[in-house]
Structure 1
Amino acid sequence: MDTTRIDKWCWAARFFKTRSLATEAVDRGRIRLNGERTKPAHSVKPGDRLDIDNGATEWEVLVIGIADKRGSAAVAATLYQETEESVQRRATQAERHRLFREPSAEIKGRPTKRDRRLLDRSSS
């Protein structure tokens, strides 16, 4: 097998939980093939570069292997190689997220009227 549909490949490589989510992402332009927007039925082959944004994380990967069936995570990891820039960008994003303190972290359960006032005062 030399090629497969881009939506099938993204699903098989475990960037999306369902194939319909992968198809929707391609339609919305969140997956770019070699820097260009494409359609879900477009074929992907080894050597292609994909920019993938699944809403939570952004990846820049090079396609190494082809699969049209979803396998284990270990198999999925062998289908692509993430670029160095992408790894660094995700690491800094994770670090920034780790250092950000959620305002509601100190509040246990539903905020009281006093807690709500404190939250409103700190956000403005």
Structure 2
Amino acid sequence: MPEKEKLRIDKYLWAIRLFKTRTLASDAVKAGRVKLDGNNIKPSHEVRLGEVYQVAKGPDRKVIRVVGLLENRVDAKTAVGFYEDITPVEQTHAFRSMFHAPVLSRDRGTGRPTKRDRREIDDLKDDYFDKEENTEE
């Protein structure tokens, strides 16, 4: 795959498969969910080798280092070679959810949750994720 010298950040994030569409990547950059050295950037920012970006996508947080520039979207196995995931283990969603997620259990034989139960479960989950996002900023 030929490498380019100049490449926009939104196109790069789409090409390495961090976002499903280039529009989603561009919107994330505009919203400030992609940062370079802790600073917001624009979707037209030029990616350079060796730069480290912090990418927030839902509850997931990733820290990636640019290893190669990729113009077109390729399969996942190839895309992994163009960036290095240097996210600390403590910041990964799987790690946090393993230790901090509320454990929902129901007594055996109680049947399906009622509408009221379902609302309580949803409120509990929403409060958990909202609280987590607010504490990290």
TM-score tier after normalising by the smaller chain length: 0.7 to 0.9
Please give the TM-score of this superposition, normalised by the length of structure 2: 0.70
Q: Percent identity?
A: 30
Structure 1 residues without counterparts, runs of 5 or longer: none
- Structure 1 partner of 2:83: 80
Does structure 1 residue 11 correspond to structure 2 residue 14? yes
C-alpha distance in 1 between matches for 2:50 and 2:65? 6
- Structure 2 partner of 1:69: 72
1:34-73 to structure 2, matched below 5 A, reads: 34-73=37-76
Two-structure CA RMSD over aligned residues (Å)? 2.8
C-alpha distance in 2 between matches for 1:92 and 1:79? 25
Structure 1 residue 95, shift from structure 2 partner: 2.0
- Structure 2 partner of 1:95: 98
1:84 and 1:53, CA in 2 relative to 1: closer, same or farther beyond 3 A?
closer
Query: Is this contact kept in 1: 2:64–2:87, CA < 8 A?
Result: no
1:46 and 1:55, CA in 2 relative to 1: closer, same or farther beyond 3 A?
same
C-alpha distance in 2 between matches for 1:20 and 1:77? 21
1:19-34 to structure 2, matched below 5 A, reads: 19-34=22-37
Structure 2 residues without counterparts, runs of 5 or longer: 125-137
C-alpha distance in 2 between matches for 1:108 and 1:51? 43
C-alpha distance in 1 between matches for 2:54 and 2:17? 14
Structure 1 residue 42, shift from structure 2 partner: 0.8
C-alpha distance in 2 between matches for 1:108 and 1:44? 53
C-alpha distance in 2 between matches for 1:2 and 1:34? 21
C-alpha distance in 1 between matches for 2:79 and 2:112? 39
2:35 aligned counterpart, secondary structure: strand
Please give the TM-score of this superposition, normalised by the length of structure 1: 0.77
